[in-house]
Structure 1
Amino acid sequence: MGQSESVLILGGTGQAGTGAAALLRQWHPALPLTIAGRDIDRARRVADGLGAATAATIDLRRGDLGLPADRRYSAVVAALWDDRLHGLRFAQHRGLPYVSISSGLVDIAPEVVAGAQRANASPILVASHYCAGAVVLAALHSARRFDRIDAIRISAVLDELDTGGPAGTADLERWSTATSAGLVRRDGVFTWVTGPDAQADVRRTDGTDLPGRSIAILDVTSLALAADAPDVRFDFAVGESAGRRRGEPASFEVRIDLEGAGPGGAPIRRSRYLVHPAGQRPVTATGIALGVERLLGLRGEAVAPGIHTPETLLDPAYAVERMAETGACFIGAPGDS
């Protein structure tokens, strides 16, 4: 795909969009980017800071997004909630790759149906996982030493000062309104849990607990099916992160607990934290940028049209390497072996 055509980042002035744009610029200096938002002055500031980038205003109520008809793009990234799916339709009508990060488990049905109805139009990356799939990839990277995975538990702390700006806060509110139940895989069966079954303590890296609960999130389905794990759960808590408890900026911390068997069938466990001292923004940005890079064929072969998820396209080891470049790292947790 010619690099004269620009990656259109809808919501490119928000935290996720600006972070992903900065990484794409770092990884691929010649890649043209279009920072699209409602405030043209803000979009221009972001674009000017990147170089080789342009600014545009968008109107998500319009099928053409309010963009000039003669502009050509290489991909469309929805770094915001595309409630009318105009961004997706815009991409499909032009045969462009599309990335979505805000639909969540409870909102992906329209995207999946749209992708099925026009299966040969565009590659669609459904990346409405936690941190745009970065946590799934980190967990699969941790699972590489296992011959069999019996159970996966993800425990995430989101600092209330690190929700991702107004768009991120709106996403959390929408998802909590759609369902208060959590989704787990239990003994091979995907099961909705409520009440006491959904409640769980989430342990921070400093050893203290926050009250949390199981949530309905795509990470459960992606991990369960990718690892063929019969028991999978994702618990989530919003509160003061360990970093902020130390008087530092809000930190990102996700605990990954794995149980299964190693070579020869010997039972093993692994418990590690994926952490970032600067919070969730750089981790989410990495997830988005990895997806764009892959869809454009800047790493790996061309991606076929259809519905894709992060673990079907991206190499976990490479993803962890890219996360580490931004300052993320793994640290041991009690029970690690």
Structure 2
Amino acid sequence: MSLNPILLMGGSGAISQHTARALRAVYPEVPLLIGGRDLAKAERAADQMGNARGVVIDATAPDLGLGDRQVSGVVVFYMDHALAALSYAQKRGVPHLSISSGVFEIAPEIASYIHRPDAAPIVLGYEWMVGATTVSTLNIVKAFGRVDDIKIGALVDEQDTGGPTVATDFEHLNRMLPAALTRREGIYVWREGEDSRTRFRAVDGTEIDANGFSSIDVVGLAAATGAPNVQFNMAIATSSTRRQNLPMSTEIIIEVAGDDLHGKPLRTRHAVVHPQGAAPLTGLSVAMILERLLGLDGQPPTSPGLYFPYQLLDATTYLERLEREGGELRELQQ
């Protein structure tokens, strides 16, 4: 199929490069536009990706400085506070995916969607690793007849910086998010102070000090499962692989409690693990969302609407691709 280039804004960063790599592995002919403020840097990234061109982005211009150049979709890898990319995508009726905002920053995007609901598909890609957590959790809860409690523990290795853009985004979120949105006994609360401090066990069983984190995964999982208790905790510490003198990795601990399909108590503990860290796992998620949005997978392109990543990602296909990359959804001992 003939396809206009996909615009990757902030496209010279690590996550963008992993996204391009994941796309290239399945769809080598998909053209890309690598957008940034520095043309030379964008062109270097484009040369590395192949079948790509570097362009300068002017976020103050309605056309982003691209003139009449056509694109098939827009992905934003940094915090676009002016929603310049979203406005651009809506005017052209192409999909928009942004991955860096916090749960407290969704109101502007929702307002833009409400005023133009038929303009384009818009993906709130702020889930942890852009769907890796929610897709895996929702696959796990298929074994449950009722879900009472979901606890997510995200462990980011201290060496897994993800590049300057990711570091800046984390700094922003940590500064703006003193409290952690949590569902407790069916009520949404904000954990802060001592109430936000907790611990979880890493893949190797090590107890990790963590803090509550305001991830949009909480509201998505609560809405999808009806679980009255959902919390998300994050820690930046040594990953389980590095404690074994292996390269650093990223891991997401998923603990679910409730009743099984026969009404008997059930408690499970799993981990999503990627041996190369957060960037390739995030890049895989972004690439697979783009596949679904644009219909690269042979199905009709996604209709205009407002979506969570897990609504677009097929769990079976996602986990197969994850395993192909060396990652896995692993069952752990209680």
| TM-score bracket for the superposition, by shorter chain length | over 0.9
Which residue matches 2:47?
48
Which residue matches 1:187?
185
Which residue matches 2:73?
75
Superposed displacement of residue 242, structure 1: 1.9
Contact 1:183–1:190 (CA<8 Å) still a contact in 2? yes
Which residue matches 1:126?
124
Contact 1:81–1:167 (CA<8 Å) still a contact in 2? no
**Aligned equivalents of 2:15, 2:133: Cα separation in 1:** 15
Which residue matches 2:277?
279
Which residue matches 1:63?
62
Contact 1:182–1:192 (CA<8 Å) still a contact in 2? yes
**Aligned equivalents of 1:117, 1:178: Cα separation in 2:** 27
**Aligned equivalents of 1:132, 1:148: Cα separation in 2:** 25
**Aligned equivalents of 1:180, 1:164: Cα separation in 2:** 23
| Amino acid paired to 2:200 | V
**Aligned equivalents of 1:4, 1:306: Cα separation in 2:** 21
Superposed displacement of residue 13, structure 1: 0.7
Superposed displacement of residue 190, structure 1: 1.3
Query: Does residue 334 of the first structure (1) align with residue 333 of the second (2)?
Result: yes
Structure 2 gaps, min length 5 = none
Which residue matches 1:232?
230
Match of 1:250 among 248, 251, 274: 248
Q: How does 1:197-236 map to 2 (within 5 A)?
A: 197-236=195-234
Which residue matches 1:38?
37
In structure 2, the CA distance between the partners of 1:163 and 1:113, relative to structure 1 (3 Å rule), is: farther
Query: Does residue 111 of the first structure (1) align with residue 93 of the second (2)?
Result: no
SS at match of 2:211: strand
Superposed displacement of residue 19, structure 1: 0.8
**Aligned equivalents of 2:71, 2:42: Cα separation in 1:** 17
Deviates further, 309-318 or 226-235: 309-318
Contact 1:3–1:30 (CA<8 Å) still a contact in 2? no
Superposed displacement of residue 24, structure 1: 1.0
Superposed displacement of residue 4, structure 1: 3.7
SS at match of 1:73: coil
Which residue matches 2:304?
305
Q: How does 1:131-210 map to 2 (within 5 A)?
A: 131-210=129-208
Structure 1 gaps, min length 5 = none
Which residue matches 1:3?
2
- TM-score (normalizing by structure 2): 0.95
**Aligned equivalents of 2:265, 2:57: Cα separation in 1:** 54
Contact 1:271–1:332 (CA<8 Å) still a contact in 2? yes
**Aligned equivalents of 1:313, 1:324: Cα separation in 2:** 19
Which residue matches 2:23?
24
Superposed displacement of residue 51, structure 1: 2.4
In structure 2, the CA distance between the partners of 1:3 and 1:104, relative to structure 1 (3 Å rule), is: farther
Identity %: 38
Superposed displacement of residue 42, structure 1: 2.7
Deviates further, 38-47 or 224-233: 38-47
Superposed displacement of residue 244, structure 1: 2.3
**Aligned equivalents of 1:40, 1:249: Cα separation in 2:** 33
**Aligned equivalents of 1:56, 1:3: Cα separation in 2:** 21
**Aligned equivalents of 1:85, 1:175: Cα separation in 2:** 18
RMSD: 1.5
Q: How many residues are paired up?
A: 333
Contact 1:104–1:129 (CA<8 Å) still a contact in 2? no
Residues 116-151 of structure 1 deviation map (CA, whole Å, 9 limit, x = unaligned): 111111110111111112111111112222222111
Which residue matches 1:322?
321
**Aligned equivalents of 2:276, 2:180: Cα separation in 1:** 28
Q: How does 1:93-108 map to 2 (within 5 A)?
A: 93-108=91-106
Superposed displacement of residue 230, structure 1: 1.1
- TM-score (normalizing by structure 1): 0.94
Superposed displacement of residue 64, structure 1: 2.2
Residues 262-307 of structure 1 deviation map (CA, whole Å, 9 limit, x = unaligned): 2221111110111111111111011111111111012333322121
SS at match of 1:265: coil
SS at match of 2:74: strand
